[in-house]
Every structure is written in C-alpha cells, then in structure tokens.
Amino acid sequence: MTDLTPDGVEAQRLEIEAQLSEQLETLELRLARIHAHQKNAGREVSRDWDDRASERQNDEVVEALLPHTLAEIAAIRRALERLQGGDALTCERCDGPISPKRLAIVPETRFCAECAG
C-alpha cells in the first residue's frame, strides 16, 4: 500500500477528476450523437452515407449504446461529486483507501479492490 501524503492525495484527486471529466466529455459527445441519430431515424438522411446496409447496422449499435452510455454518464457524475466532496479515495464499505491504480482503471468505483472482490 502506498503512503499518500495530503499533497499526494490532492494531486491524485485532481488527476482522477481530470480523467473523469475527460471521460464524461467523450460520453456526452457520444450521447449527443445518439440523440441526433435517433432524431434522424426514419428520415432520408442517407444521402451522405455510402452504405445504407452499414447504416442500418450502425442504427442497432447506436441504440444498444444508449442505456450503457446513460449509465456510464450517471456513474461518472456520481464519482465526480464524490471526488469534489473529497471522499472518492475511501472505500464506502470498509473505509479503507482505494488504491490509485484501481481508481485509474475504474475511477467511478466506490469500493476498494477487496470489498469489490
């Protein structure tokens, strides 16, 4: 386990926050594309597209992405709130520290590796 100084914790918090914000931005862009895609569904928007078959296939992929994208956005927003509240680095179950490595991989996690186990 790493002994984090208060400065180290703060630096880590900022780093994770930046990472989450970036992910959130990506997801929101994706969400906007999904919404735009749904708005255009049923309309003749295919002229710009080379391959209508691949567009139909794309429709299904996009539809499937929506619930996943919304869930991810919600999870990241919650994680950001917890980070801003200063308790994202602590496991909700055992109050132990969540390792930086783990947070780098799953920033929205609320549990340490053992409790998530």
Q: Kindly tell me which of 37 and 110 has the beta carbon lying closer to Zn ion.
A: 110
Task: Report, in Å, the least distance between residue 10 CB and Zn ion.
Answer: 21
Q: Quick one: tokens of 25? A: 């931005």
Task: Report, in Å, the least distance between residue 116 CB and Zn ion.
Answer: 8
Q: Which of 45, 68, 81, 94 is nearest to 107 (CA)?
A: 81
Sign of CA dihedral 55, 58, 60, 66: negative
Residue ranges binding Zn ion (CB under 5 A): 91, 93-94, 96, 112, 115
Task: Report, in Å, the least distance between residue 39 CB and Zn ion.
Answer: 43
Identify whether the C-beta of residue 91 lies closer than 8 Å to the C-beta of residue 98: yes
Identify whether the C-beta of residue 115 lies closer than 8 Å to the C-beta of residue 93: yes
Q: Kindly tell me which of 16 and 91 has the beta carbon lying closer to Zn ion.
A: 91
C-alpha–C-alpha distance, residues 38 and 84, integer Å? 34
Task: Report, in Å, the least distance between residue 52 CB and Zn ion.
Answer: 51
Q: Kindly tell me which of 76 and 91 has the beta carbon lying closer to Zn ion.
A: 91
Q: Kindly tell me which of 14 and 94 has the beta carbon lying closer to Zn ion.
A: 94
